[in-house]
Chain A
Protein backbone atom coordinates (compact mmCIF):
# COMPACT_ATOMS: atom_id res chain seq x y z
CA UNK A 1 0.00 0.00 0.00
CA UNK A 2 1.37 3.36 -0.91
CA UNK A 3 1.90 6.24 1.47
CA UNK A 4 -0.80 8.97 1.28
CA UNK A 5 0.26 12.14 -0.48
CA UNK A 6 0.78 15.25 1.57
CA UNK A 7 -1.55 17.88 0.13
CA UNK A 8 -1.87 21.53 1.01
CA UNK A 9 -4.15 24.02 -0.74
CA UNK A 10 -4.24 27.58 0.54
CA UNK A 11 -6.27 30.44 -0.88
CA UNK A 12 -4.44 33.59 -2.00
CA UNK A 13 -7.05 35.98 -3.39
CA UNK A 14 -9.03 33.85 -5.86
CA UNK A 15 -6.08 31.53 -6.52
CA UNK A 16 -5.45 28.31 -4.61
CA UNK A 17 -1.77 27.57 -4.01
CA UNK A 18 -1.61 23.76 -4.22
CA UNK A 19 1.43 21.88 -2.99
CA UNK A 20 1.73 18.12 -3.37
CA UNK A 21 4.36 15.77 -1.96
CA UNK A 22 4.28 12.17 -3.15
CA UNK A 23 6.05 9.19 -1.68
CA UNK A 24 7.39 7.12 -4.55
CA UNK A 25 10.74 5.41 -5.25
CA UNK A 26 10.83 6.71 -8.88
CA UNK A 27 13.31 4.02 -9.86
CA UNK A 28 15.12 4.92 -13.05
CA UNK A 29 15.82 1.34 -14.07
CA UNK A 30 19.57 1.97 -13.92
CA UNK A 31 20.21 1.83 -10.19
CA UNK A 32 21.76 -1.32 -8.73
CA UNK A 33 20.80 -2.75 -5.35
CA UNK A 34 23.19 -3.94 -2.64
CA UNK A 35 23.64 -7.25 -4.48
CA UNK A 36 24.62 -5.48 -7.69
CA UNK A 37 21.38 -6.29 -9.48
CA UNK A 38 19.47 -3.71 -11.52
CA UNK A 39 16.38 -2.41 -9.73
CA UNK A 40 13.47 -2.55 -12.22
CA UNK A 41 12.14 0.73 -13.55
CA UNK A 42 9.25 1.99 -11.39
CA UNK A 43 7.92 5.50 -11.75
CA UNK A 44 4.80 7.64 -11.72
CA UNK A 45 3.59 7.97 -15.32
CA UNK A 46 0.63 10.25 -15.01
CA UNK A 47 -0.69 12.80 -12.55
CA UNK A 48 -4.13 14.39 -12.62
CA UNK A 49 -5.29 17.26 -10.43
CA UNK A 50 -9.01 17.98 -10.16
CA UNK A 51 -10.68 21.09 -8.79
CA UNK A 52 -14.27 20.28 -7.68
CA UNK A 53 -14.22 17.31 -10.07
CA UNK A 54 -12.94 19.26 -13.08
CA UNK A 55 -9.45 18.41 -14.34
CA UNK A 56 -7.11 21.40 -14.07
CA UNK A 57 -3.78 19.65 -14.65
CA UNK A 58 -2.70 16.53 -16.45
CA UNK A 59 0.96 15.59 -16.50
CA UNK A 60 2.90 12.78 -18.15
CA UNK A 61 6.01 12.01 -16.14
CA UNK A 62 9.12 10.01 -16.89
CA UNK A 63 11.74 8.32 -14.74
CA UNK A 64 13.69 11.60 -14.86
CA UNK A 65 11.53 12.98 -12.04
CA UNK A 66 13.17 12.64 -8.63
CA UNK A 67 12.35 10.25 -5.82
CA UNK A 68 9.59 11.54 -3.49
CA UNK A 69 8.47 14.13 -6.03
CA UNK A 70 7.00 17.53 -5.32
CA UNK A 71 4.43 19.22 -7.55
CA UNK A 72 3.17 22.77 -7.08
CA UNK A 73 0.43 24.55 -9.03
CA UNK A 74 -1.91 27.50 -8.71
CA UNK A 75 -5.61 27.08 -9.46
CA UNK A 76 -7.53 30.17 -10.52
CA UNK A 77 -11.12 30.84 -9.46
CA UNK A 78 -10.93 28.76 -6.28
CA UNK A 79 -12.89 29.38 -3.06
CA UNK A 80 -12.31 28.20 0.50
CA UNK A 81 -13.83 24.73 0.94
CA UNK A 82 -13.35 23.70 -2.71
CA UNK A 83 -12.17 20.12 -3.24
CA UNK A 84 -8.76 19.45 -4.73
CA UNK A 85 -8.04 15.83 -5.58
CA UNK A 86 -4.83 14.39 -6.96
CA UNK A 87 -4.34 11.02 -8.65
CA UNK A 88 -1.11 9.41 -9.74
CA UNK A 89 -0.66 6.18 -11.69
CA UNK A 90 2.68 4.43 -12.03
CA UNK A 91 4.11 2.09 -14.67
CA UNK A 92 3.23 -0.97 -12.57
CA UNK A 93 -0.41 0.10 -12.57
CA UNK A 94 -0.40 1.22 -8.94
CA UNK A 95 -2.71 4.14 -8.44
CA UNK A 96 -3.40 6.52 -5.61
CA UNK A 97 -5.91 9.33 -5.09
CA UNK A 98 -5.91 11.79 -2.21
CA UNK A 99 -8.11 14.78 -1.58
CA UNK A 100 -7.99 18.00 0.39
CA UNK A 101 -10.09 21.12 0.75
CA UNK A 102 -8.89 24.61 -0.05
CA UNK A 103 -8.13 26.44 3.19
CA UNK A 104 -8.72 30.14 3.76
CA UNK A 105 -5.48 32.09 4.22
CA UNK A 106 -4.32 31.91 7.84
Chain B
Protein backbone atom coordinates (compact mmCIF):
# COMPACT_ATOMS: atom_id res chain seq x y z
CA UNK B 1 0.00 0.00 0.00
CA UNK B 2 2.62 2.54 1.01
CA UNK B 3 4.69 1.55 -2.00
CA UNK B 4 1.88 2.19 -4.47
CA UNK B 5 1.34 5.61 -2.91
CA UNK B 6 5.05 6.25 -3.37
CA UNK B 7 4.78 5.29 -7.07
CA UNK B 8 1.87 7.68 -7.47
CA UNK B 9 3.82 10.48 -5.83
CA UNK B 10 6.76 9.87 -8.13
CA UNK B 11 4.49 10.23 -11.13
CA UNK B 12 3.09 13.46 -9.71
CA UNK B 13 6.59 14.77 -9.06
CA UNK B 14 7.60 14.08 -12.64
CA UNK B 15 4.54 15.88 -13.87
CA UNK B 16 5.25 18.94 -11.73
CA UNK B 17 8.86 19.05 -12.87
CA UNK B 18 7.66 19.35 -16.45
CA UNK B 19 5.37 22.31 -15.80
CA UNK B 20 7.86 25.20 -15.67
CA UNK B 21 9.52 23.87 -18.83
CA UNK B 22 6.26 23.76 -20.73
CA UNK B 23 5.93 27.49 -20.19
CA UNK B 24 9.00 28.13 -22.38
CA UNK B 25 7.39 27.12 -25.65
CA UNK B 26 5.28 24.38 -27.09
CA UNK B 27 8.16 22.78 -29.02
CA UNK B 28 10.17 22.24 -25.81
CA UNK B 29 7.19 20.73 -24.01
CA UNK B 30 6.56 18.44 -26.97
CA UNK B 31 10.23 17.45 -27.00
CA UNK B 32 10.00 16.42 -23.33
CA UNK B 33 6.90 14.36 -24.07
CA UNK B 34 8.58 12.72 -27.04
CA UNK B 35 11.67 11.93 -24.96
CA UNK B 36 9.55 10.25 -22.27
CA UNK B 37 7.69 8.25 -24.91
CA UNK B 38 10.86 7.27 -26.75
CA UNK B 39 12.27 5.66 -23.62
CA UNK B 40 9.18 3.54 -23.06
CA UNK B 41 7.70 3.33 -26.52
CA UNK B 42 4.73 0.97 -26.91
CA UNK B 43 6.12 0.34 -30.39
CA UNK B 44 8.61 -1.98 -28.66
CA UNK B 45 5.69 -4.36 -28.13
CA UNK B 46 5.19 -4.47 -31.90
CA UNK B 47 8.91 -5.16 -32.46
CA UNK B 48 8.75 -7.94 -29.85
CA UNK B 49 5.72 -9.51 -31.54
CA UNK B 50 7.39 -9.11 -34.94
CA UNK B 51 10.46 -10.96 -33.73
CA UNK B 52 8.27 -13.86 -32.63
CA UNK B 53 6.27 -13.86 -35.90
CA UNK B 54 9.50 -13.82 -37.93
CA UNK B 55 10.77 -17.01 -36.28
CA UNK B 56 7.43 -18.82 -36.05
CA UNK B 57 6.43 -21.47 -38.60
CA UNK B 58 3.31 -19.94 -40.14
CA UNK B 59 1.09 -19.87 -43.20
CA UNK B 60 -0.12 -22.65 -45.52
CA UNK B 61 3.49 -23.75 -46.08
CA UNK B 62 4.26 -23.82 -42.34
CA UNK B 63 7.52 -21.94 -42.78
CA UNK B 64 9.23 -19.21 -40.78
CA UNK B 65 10.73 -16.10 -42.36
CA UNK B 66 14.22 -17.21 -41.40
CA UNK B 67 15.00 -17.87 -45.09
CA UNK B 68 13.71 -14.43 -46.12
CA UNK B 69 16.30 -12.41 -48.02
CA UNK B 70 15.87 -8.75 -47.14
CA UNK B 71 18.87 -7.81 -49.27
CA UNK B 72 21.79 -8.98 -47.16
CA UNK B 73 21.22 -12.72 -47.64
CA UNK B 74 18.63 -15.24 -46.38
CA UNK B 75 17.66 -14.66 -42.75
CA UNK B 76 20.01 -11.70 -42.31
CA UNK B 77 17.91 -9.09 -40.56
CA UNK B 78 20.53 -6.94 -38.84
CA UNK B 79 21.25 -3.89 -40.98
CA UNK B 80 18.74 -4.79 -43.69
CA UNK B 81 16.48 -1.77 -43.15
CA UNK B 82 19.44 0.63 -43.48
CA UNK B 83 19.88 -0.48 -47.11
CA UNK B 84 16.29 -0.46 -48.32
CA UNK B 85 14.67 0.01 -50.78
CA UNK B 86 16.96 -1.96 -53.08
CA UNK B 87 16.89 -4.07 -56.23
CA UNK B 88 16.09 -7.80 -55.88
CA UNK B 89 17.04 -10.07 -58.76
CA UNK B 90 14.47 -12.78 -57.95
CA UNK B 91 11.52 -10.41 -58.36
CA UNK B 92 13.38 -8.09 -60.79
CA UNK B 93 11.98 -5.20 -58.75
CA UNK B 94 13.09 -2.46 -56.44
CA UNK B 95 11.39 -3.20 -53.11
CA UNK B 96 10.98 -1.44 -49.79
CA UNK B 97 10.74 -3.35 -46.52
CA UNK B 98 6.97 -3.84 -46.67
CA UNK B 99 7.04 -4.96 -50.29
CA UNK B 100 9.90 -7.39 -49.63
CA UNK B 101 8.30 -8.87 -46.51
CA UNK B 102 5.16 -9.42 -48.57
CA UNK B 103 7.22 -11.32 -51.18
CA UNK B 104 8.66 -13.54 -48.44
CA UNK B 105 5.27 -14.14 -46.81
CA UNK B 106 3.82 -15.17 -50.19
CA UNK B 107 6.78 -17.20 -51.48
CA UNK B 108 8.03 -18.85 -48.29
CA UNK B 109 4.90 -19.08 -46.15
CA UNK B 110 2.21 -19.32 -48.81
CA UNK B 111 0.11 -16.41 -47.55
CA UNK B 112 -2.13 -14.74 -50.10
CA UNK B 113 -1.06 -11.31 -51.31
CA UNK B 114 -4.65 -10.03 -51.10
CA UNK B 115 -4.91 -11.09 -47.45
CA UNK B 116 -1.65 -9.36 -46.54
CA UNK B 117 -2.84 -6.20 -48.26
CA UNK B 118 -6.24 -6.38 -46.55
CA UNK B 119 -4.50 -6.60 -43.16
CA UNK B 120 -1.77 -4.08 -43.96
CA UNK B 121 -2.98 -1.56 -41.35
CA UNK B 122 -3.97 -2.77 -37.88
CA UNK B 123 -7.28 -1.74 -36.32
CA UNK B 124 -8.30 -1.67 -32.64
CA UNK B 125 -9.80 -5.13 -33.17
CA UNK B 126 -7.08 -6.74 -35.26
CA UNK B 127 -3.30 -6.32 -35.17
CA UNK B 128 -1.42 -6.23 -38.44
CA UNK B 129 1.38 -8.79 -38.80
CA UNK B 130 3.01 -6.45 -41.31
CA UNK B 131 3.26 -3.60 -38.79
CA UNK B 132 4.83 -5.96 -36.23
CA UNK B 133 7.33 -7.41 -38.72
CA UNK B 134 8.37 -3.98 -40.00
CA UNK B 135 8.90 -2.80 -36.39
CA UNK B 136 11.12 -5.79 -35.68
CA UNK B 137 13.19 -5.58 -38.85
CA UNK B 138 13.52 -1.80 -38.55
CA UNK B 139 14.74 -2.07 -34.95
CA UNK B 140 17.46 -4.53 -36.01
CA UNK B 141 19.21 -1.64 -37.80
CA UNK B 142 19.28 0.54 -34.69
CA UNK B 143 22.45 2.60 -34.19
CA UNK B 144 23.40 1.97 -37.85
CA UNK B 145 23.31 4.64 -40.55
CA UNK B 146 20.91 4.85 -43.49
CA UNK B 147 22.84 3.76 -46.56
CA UNK B 148 20.49 2.96 -49.43
CA UNK B 149 22.29 1.49 -52.44
CA UNK B 150 22.19 3.18 -55.87
CA UNK B 151 24.46 0.71 -57.66
CA UNK B 152 21.79 -0.94 -59.80
CA UNK B 153 20.23 0.96 -62.72
CA UNK B 154 16.72 0.21 -61.40
CA UNK B 155 17.63 1.65 -58.00
CA UNK B 156 18.65 4.87 -59.72
CA UNK B 157 15.48 4.79 -61.82
CA UNK B 158 13.36 4.50 -58.68
CA UNK B 159 15.27 7.23 -56.87
CA UNK B 160 14.85 9.66 -59.78
CA UNK B 161 11.22 8.69 -60.30
CA UNK B 162 10.63 9.27 -56.60
CA UNK B 163 12.11 12.73 -56.91
CA UNK B 164 9.89 13.45 -59.91
CA UNK B 165 6.83 12.19 -58.02
CA UNK B 166 7.74 14.27 -54.95
CA UNK B 167 7.41 17.43 -57.05
CA UNK B 168 4.53 16.22 -59.25
CA UNK B 169 1.39 18.31 -58.75
CA UNK B 170 -2.05 16.87 -59.41
CA UNK B 171 -5.54 16.44 -58.03
CA UNK B 172 -8.33 18.84 -57.05
CA UNK B 173 -5.96 20.72 -54.71
CA UNK B 174 -2.93 20.93 -57.05
CA UNK B 175 -0.74 19.45 -54.31
CA UNK B 176 2.57 17.65 -54.50
CA UNK B 177 4.69 16.47 -51.57
CA UNK B 178 6.78 19.59 -52.20
CA UNK B 179 3.84 21.91 -51.49
CA UNK B 180 4.15 21.20 -47.76
CA UNK B 181 7.66 19.80 -47.34
CA UNK B 182 10.23 22.16 -48.89
CA UNK B 183 10.45 25.02 -46.38
CA UNK B 184 11.57 25.32 -42.78
CA UNK B 185 9.15 26.02 -39.92
CA UNK B 186 5.91 25.34 -41.79
CA UNK B 187 2.73 23.93 -40.26
CA UNK B 188 -0.68 22.73 -41.37
CA UNK B 189 -2.77 24.06 -38.51
CA UNK B 190 -0.47 23.26 -35.55
CA UNK B 191 1.10 20.19 -37.11
CA UNK B 192 4.80 20.70 -37.89
CA UNK B 193 5.87 19.84 -41.43
CA UNK B 194 9.44 18.58 -41.94
CA UNK B 195 11.42 20.35 -44.66
CA UNK B 196 12.57 17.44 -46.79
CA UNK B 197 15.10 19.55 -48.67
CA UNK B 198 17.14 19.67 -45.46
CA UNK B 199 19.12 16.41 -45.11
CA UNK B 200 19.03 16.63 -41.29
CA UNK B 201 15.23 16.87 -41.19
CA UNK B 202 14.99 14.16 -43.82
CA UNK B 203 17.15 11.89 -41.66
CA UNK B 204 14.79 12.45 -38.72
CA UNK B 205 11.80 11.47 -40.85
CA UNK B 206 13.35 8.25 -42.08
CA UNK B 207 15.82 6.99 -39.51
CA UNK B 208 13.81 7.73 -36.36
CA UNK B 209 10.42 8.29 -37.95
CA UNK B 210 8.80 5.26 -39.55
CA UNK B 211 7.80 2.66 -38.46
CA UNK B 212 6.43 4.59 -35.49
CA UNK B 213 3.90 4.03 -32.73
CA UNK B 214 1.16 6.59 -33.33
CA UNK B 215 -0.54 7.69 -30.16
CA UNK B 216 -3.63 8.88 -32.02
CA UNK B 217 -4.02 5.50 -33.70
CA UNK B 218 -2.80 3.27 -30.84
CA UNK B 219 -0.76 1.28 -33.34
CA UNK B 220 2.54 1.21 -35.10
CA UNK B 221 2.29 2.62 -38.62
CA UNK B 222 4.90 2.18 -41.33
CA UNK B 223 6.17 4.46 -44.11
CA UNK B 224 3.63 2.83 -46.44
CA UNK B 225 0.86 4.12 -44.18
CA UNK B 226 2.46 7.56 -43.95
CA UNK B 227 2.46 7.84 -47.75
CA UNK B 228 -1.07 6.42 -47.99
CA UNK B 229 -2.29 9.00 -45.50
CA UNK B 230 -0.57 11.97 -47.20
CA UNK B 231 -2.02 10.79 -50.48
CA UNK B 232 -5.48 10.64 -48.86
CA UNK B 233 -5.10 14.17 -47.54
CA UNK B 234 -4.11 15.25 -51.07
CA UNK B 235 -7.50 13.89 -52.25
CA UNK B 236 -6.12 11.07 -54.37
CA UNK B 237 -7.57 7.55 -54.62
CA UNK B 238 -6.25 4.89 -52.19
CA UNK B 239 -2.52 4.52 -52.86
CA UNK B 240 -1.71 0.89 -53.64
CA UNK B 241 0.21 -0.87 -50.85
CA UNK B 242 3.79 -1.50 -52.01
CA UNK B 243 2.96 0.10 -55.38
CA UNK B 244 5.94 1.26 -57.45
CA UNK B 245 4.85 4.86 -56.76
CA UNK B 246 5.10 4.28 -53.00
CA UNK B 247 8.42 2.45 -53.29
CA UNK B 248 9.90 5.14 -55.58
CA UNK B 249 8.92 7.89 -53.11
CA UNK B 250 10.47 5.84 -50.31
CA UNK B 251 13.65 5.45 -52.40
CA UNK B 252 13.86 9.20 -52.79
CA UNK B 253 13.27 9.86 -49.09
CA UNK B 254 15.55 7.07 -47.80
CA UNK B 255 18.25 7.99 -50.32
CA UNK B 256 18.21 11.58 -49.13
CA UNK B 257 18.35 10.43 -45.50
CA UNK B 258 21.78 8.83 -46.05
CA UNK B 259 23.84 8.90 -42.86
CA UNK B 260 20.85 9.25 -40.55
CA UNK B 261 21.33 7.14 -37.41
CA UNK B 262 18.50 4.65 -37.09
CA UNK B 263 16.43 4.36 -33.91
CA UNK B 264 13.21 2.48 -34.51
CA UNK B 265 10.34 2.13 -33.95
CA UNK B 266 9.73 5.85 -33.53
CA UNK B 267 6.91 7.59 -31.68
CA UNK B 268 4.55 10.02 -33.35
CA UNK B 269 1.42 11.93 -32.54
Contact = CB atoms under 8 A, between A and B. Distances in A.
B91 interface: no
A68 B218 contact: yes
Interface of B: 1, 3-4, 7, 10, 39-42, 44-45, 48-49, 123-125, 218
Contacts of A39: 124
Contacts of A70: 40, 42
A21 B41 CA distance: 8
A74 B9 CA distance: 12
A70 B240 CA distance: 35
A25 B7 CA distance: 23
A39 B3 CA distance: 34
A23 interface: yes
Interface of A: 3-4, 6, 19, 21, 23, 25, 31, 33-34, 39, 56-59, 67-68, 70, 72-74
Contact of A58 (B1, B44, B124): B1
Nearest to A71: B7
Contact of A25 (B40, B49, B124): B124
A58 B218 CA distance: 26
A73 B45 contact: no
Nearest to A72: B40
